């Protein structure tokens, strides 16, 4: 690997060749173990270690040593966020950030009992959002920003221990997010990263001691009888796609800027196709669950499944317009294998919900469902966005319908009629006779609606030409080979095994690995 990564800090500029033309002083990636009783000041003092780079004569280093040096360097350069679409850089930062807060422990140590609550105690935080039983806030720790989500369960600790099927329901969200981080974002193998358009998760824990936001700072809160799932992940600098509407003065409102709108639609449709390939439905894909981050990578290159290893005719060279969009918050996501079998997490699915038996109260009574509308729009009789689970939509149609319906409705509200019409035309392409039959069919339709031939007739040649970047692949640029049906079958089986594993209280995970 001969790529050169330029990493910029406010105070310095560093260029490092992967073959190491100079030596970085050894830095321990496995910092000193922090006691659970340590005060925040002690934690900060122990964990804030600034690297000092000095040029020396080149010395022979092992491949592992070079990669550790690179990971340390990248993890401490705030401006690396501009390279979020470069998988090697992004995965090194994910690994560094996860190690920053989740420590390696000996077998004798107490595992996962309020780890995050202890780490973030008394630190300032910003509230980002709330759901039915969850809260999300942002906290800065050791120069890094973390999104912390706390989802409280409805059952006591005793009930959770005695009902593994219900425990697995609560564990599905962090497990799916961790699986996507490793297999699609590419943390497991950055050089074959499949799709960058997801929010990475660093780790999670099942615990009764949770971080809670109080007066703009974090406090430790003990739930006593109950338990919760606490997850930490990436923070995207532009926030949600819905919040970007406020950035109209910077021409960063996706539904007022045709180039940015196409970039968002393309990236999210590709993310949906990848989720469907591994048998996952998000079930709540609104604009406030789509996140945006600035990037210096102007080109995003995706190769649709092909019999050839490198097939330019099957490649989409997308102009990112300086923004990468990502799907996040798998709070009510479901696995298709569970949906079609009546959900293995429950002994007796609630029959009144019919085909929507997977997620209990999140689903609507079959008798209350709304009739399917023309073009797969999921809106009510007033023209407002309806929840996809309330509509007569198949598992493969929910995410596409919910996302594009909101694009249509919001674009018309903002008088961006060409964007709205394009979204309607895309929905019509997905509105096949009967229902969508496979992830392969979704991938093929996605490829068709994102092609220059399709966009030229909707936006004109001049505008549509700006949606795409040059087909010439530059050194250091990554091509995302989207998973084919065989990759999807393997990943779906692995995900199903993961979701069926028994859960244990007071346990801590970094990505998919229990600590």
CA 515 to each of CA 180, 273, 274, 318: distance values in angstroms, whole numbers, following the listed order: 19, 32, 29, 39
Q: What is the pLDDT along the chain (515 residues), one digit of tens a residue?
A: 434 333 333 333 333 333 333 333 333 333 443 343 444 444 444 444 332 333 333 444 454 454 444 444 433 434 345 678 889 889 989 988 888 888 655 444 444 467 888 888 889 999 988 877 789 999 988 888 999 999 888 778 888 878 787 788 788 899 999 999 999 999 888 888 999 999 999 999 998 889 988 888 999 888 888 888 999 999 998 989 988 888 877 778 899 999 999 999 999 999 999 999 999 999 889 999 999 999 888 889 999 998 888 888 899 999 999 999 999 999 888 887 765 544 444 344 444 433 344 444 445 555 555 655 556 788 776 777 888 877 778 888 889 999 999 999 999 999 999 999 999 999 999 988 878 888 999 999 999 999 999 999 999 999 999 999 988 888 878 999 999 999 999 999 999 889 888 888 888 888 888 87
Inter-residue contact 205 to 230 (CB < 8 Å):
yes
Helix intervals (H) in 20-101: 40-47, 63-75, 87-101
**pLDDT value of position 50:** 31
Q: What proportion of the chain, given as a percentage, has pLDDT over 70?
A: 74
Strand partners for 212: 219
**Secondary element (H or E) of residue 168:** helix 164-180
Distance of alpha carbon 274 from alpha carbon 356, whole angstroms: 22
Distance of alpha carbon 438 from alpha carbon 410, whole angstroms: 29
**pLDDT value of position 371:** 56
Distance of alpha carbon 116 from alpha carbon 148, whole angstroms: 9
Give the list of residues 6+ apart from residue 500 with CB closer than 8 angstroms, or none: 168, 344
**pLDDT value of position 436:** 83
**pLDDT value of position 318:** 94
Distance of alpha carbon 310 from alpha carbon 87, whole angstroms: 19
CA nearest to 324, candidates 412, 404, 244? 244
**pLDDT value of position 43:** 46
Q: What proportion of the chain, given as a percentage, has pLDDT over 90?
A: 36
**pLDDT value of position 372:** 58
CA nearest to 197, candidates 135, 275, 142, 256? 275
């Amino acid at each position: 690997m001969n790529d050169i990564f330029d990493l910029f800090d406010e105070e310095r500029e560093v260029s490092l060749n992967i073959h190491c033309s100079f030596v970085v002083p050894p830095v321990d990636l496995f910092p000193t173990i922090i006691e659970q009783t340590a005060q925040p000041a002690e934690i900060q003092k122990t964990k804030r270690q600034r690297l000092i780079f000095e040029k020396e004569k080149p010395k022979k280093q092992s491949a592992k040593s070079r990669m550790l040096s690179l990971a340390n360097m990248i993890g401490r350069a705030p401006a690396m966020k501009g390279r979020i679409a470069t998988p090697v850089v992004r995965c090194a930062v994910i690994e560094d950030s996860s190690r920053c807060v989740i420590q390696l422990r000996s077998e004798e140590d107490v595992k996962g009992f309020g780890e995050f609550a202890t780490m973030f105690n008394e630190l300032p935080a910003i509230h980002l959002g709330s759901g039915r039983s969850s809260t999300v806030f942002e906290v800065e720790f050791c120069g890094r920003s973390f999104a912390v989500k706390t989802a409280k369960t409805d059952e006591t600790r005793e009930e959770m221990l005695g009902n593994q099927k219900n425990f697995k329901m609560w564990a599905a969200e962090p497990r799916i997010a961790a699986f996507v981080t490793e297999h699609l974002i590419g943390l497991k193998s950055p050089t074959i990263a499949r799709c960058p358009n997801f929010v990475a998760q660093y780790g999670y824990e099942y615990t009764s001691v949770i971080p809670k936001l109080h007066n703009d700072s974090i406090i430790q809160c003990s739930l006593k009888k109950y338990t919760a799932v606490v997850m930490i992940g990436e923070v995207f600098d532009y926030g949600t796609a819905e919040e970007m509407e406020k950035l109209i003065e910077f021409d960063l409102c996706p539904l007022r800027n045709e180039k940015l709108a196409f970039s968002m639609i393309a990236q999210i449709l590709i993310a949906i196709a990848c989720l469907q390939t591994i048998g996952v439905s998000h079930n709540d894909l609104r604009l406030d669950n789509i996140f945006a981050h600035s990037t210096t990578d102007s080109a995003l290159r995706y190769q649709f499944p092909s019999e050839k290893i490198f097939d330019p005719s099957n490649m989409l060279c997308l102009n990112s317009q300086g923004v990468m969009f990502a799907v996040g918050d798998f709070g009510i996501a479901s696995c298709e294998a569970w949906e079609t079998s009546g959900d293995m997490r429950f002994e007796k699915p609630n029959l009144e919900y019919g085909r929507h038996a997977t997620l209990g109260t999140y689903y609507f009574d079959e008798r209350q469902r709304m009739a399917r509308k023309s073009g797969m729009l999921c809106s009510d009789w007033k023209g407002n966005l309806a929840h996809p689970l309330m509509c007569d939509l198949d598992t493969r149609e929910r995410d596409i319908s919910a996302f594009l319906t909101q694009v249509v409705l919001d674009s018309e509200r903002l008088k961006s009629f060409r964007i709205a019409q394009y979204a309607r035309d895309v929905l019509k392409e997905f509105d096949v006779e009967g229902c969508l039959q496979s992830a392969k069919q979704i991938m093929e339709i996605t490829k068709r609606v994102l092609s220059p031939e399709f966009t030229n007739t909707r936006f004109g040649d001049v505008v549509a030409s700006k949606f795409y970047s040059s087909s010439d692949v530059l050194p250091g640029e990554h091509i995302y080979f989207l998973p084919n049906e065989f990759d999807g079958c393997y990943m779906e089986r692995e995900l199903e095994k993961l979701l069926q594993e028994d859960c244990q209280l007071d346990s801590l995970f970094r990505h998919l690995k229990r600590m």
